[in-house]
Structure 1
C-alpha cells in the first residue's frame, strides 16, 4: 500500500523522536547538574542547586507527545502488532472484506477517541486547567499533542480503508497483505 500522506506521518514520527530526545537531554542535564552539585559540596563551595524544576512532570507530558505523535508513523511502517492467525488463512476474496471491517472498527474507535480528546482540550481551555506540579503547564498543550497524534492515525487508517475498499470493489481476489500488514 502506498500512503499519499507519508510525509505527514513521517513528520509526526520526527516530532515523536524530538520529544524523546528532549526527555533524554533534560535527564542528562539533571544528572550533570547533580554531579556538579555533589562536586561543589565536596570542594566546600556549597550546593549550587542545579536542577530542572518539574522534570518528571514535563518528561511525562513529552512522553505523551512521543507516544501519540508516533502512532501514524508506526502504523504506516507496519510496526503495530497484527494478529493474522485467522485472517491469514482466509481466501483473498473474504480476507479483503474482513480487513475492511477491521479497518472500519479501528477508524471508528479512533474517531470516537479523537472526539472526546477534542472535548477534553476544549474543557481545559475553557476552565484554564494547569498541571499541579512545580511548573504549572496548561493542560491543553499536552492534550493537543494527543489530539494531533490521534488525528494523524485516523488519517492513516482512512487512507488504508480507502485503498482496501477500492480493492474489495474492483479486484477482491487480488488482495494480499505484505509482511508489514498492508495491502
Structure 2
C-alpha cells in the first residue's frame, strides 16, 4: 500500500525516537550523578547532590509522547499486530470488504479518541492544569503530543481506508493480502 504522507508519519517516528533518546539521556545523567556523588562521598569529599528533579514524571510524559507519536509510523511500516489468519482464507471479494470494515472501525475509534483528547487538552489549557510532581508541568504539553500522535494515526488509517475502498469498490476480485498490508 502506498502512503502519500509517509514522510509525515516518518517525522512522527523520529519525534518518538527523540523522546526515547531524551529519556535515556536523562536517566544516564541521573545515574552518573549518583555514581559521582558516591565516589565523592567515598573519598571524604563533599557530595554535589546531582539530582534531576521530577525525572520519573518527565520520563513518563516523554514515554507518552514516544508511544503516541510512533503509532502512525508503526502502522505504515506494518508493525501493528494484524490477525490475517482468518481474513487470509476469505475470497478476495469478501476480504476487501472485511478489511474495509476493520479499517472503518479503527478509523472511527481513532477519530473519537482524537476528538476527546483535543477536548481534554483544551480543558487543561483553559483551567491551567499542571502535574502534581516536583516540577509542575502544564498538562497540555504531554496531551498535545498525545493528540498529535493520534491525529497522525487517524490520517494514516484514512489513507489506508481510501486505498482499500478504491480496490473494494472498483476491482474487489483483485484484492490481495498485500493490498491490505501497510508495507510497501
- TM bucket normalised to smaller: over 0.9
- Correspondence for 1:50: 50
Deviation, 1:180, is 8.3
Q: Distance in 2 between matches of 1:163 and 1:147?
A: 24
Q: In the TM superposition, what are the counterparts of 1:99-114 in structure 2 within 5 Å?
A: 99-114=99-114
Q: Distance in 1 between matches of 2:161 and 2:178?
A: 16
Q: Distance in 2 between matches of 1:179 and 1:43?
A: 66
Structure 1 residues 182 and 92, CA, compared in 2 at 3 Å: closer, same or farther?
A: farther
Number of residues of Structure 1 aligned to a counterpart in Structure 2:
183
Q: Distance in 2 between matches of 1:23 and 1:138?
A: 18
Q: Distance in 2 between matches of 1:180 and 1:45?
A: 64
Structure 1 residues 53 and 180, CA, compared in 2 at 3 Å: closer, same or farther?
A: farther
Deviation, 1:145, is 0.3
Deviation, 1:46, is 2.0
- Correspondence for 1:123: 123
Deviation, 1:45, is 1.4
Moved over 6 A (4+): none
- Correspondence for 1:138: 138
TM-score, length of structure 2 as denominator length: 0.97
TM-score, length of structure 1 as denominator length: 0.97
- Correspondence for 1:152: 152
Q: Report if aligned partners of 1:64, 1:146 keep a CA contact under 8 Å in 2.
A: yes
- Correspondence for 2:22: 22
Residue 71 in structure 1 maps to residue 71 in structure 2: yes
Q: Distance in 1 between matches of 2:32 and 2:180?
A: 41
Q: Report if aligned partners of 1:78, 1:181 keep a CA contact under 8 Å in 2.
A: yes
Deviation, 1:19, is 0.2
Q: Deviations over 1:147-169 (max 9, x none)?
A: 00000000000000000000011
Q: Distance in 2 between matches of 1:107 and 1:179?
A: 17
Q: Distance in 2 between matches of 1:67 and 1:111?
A: 18
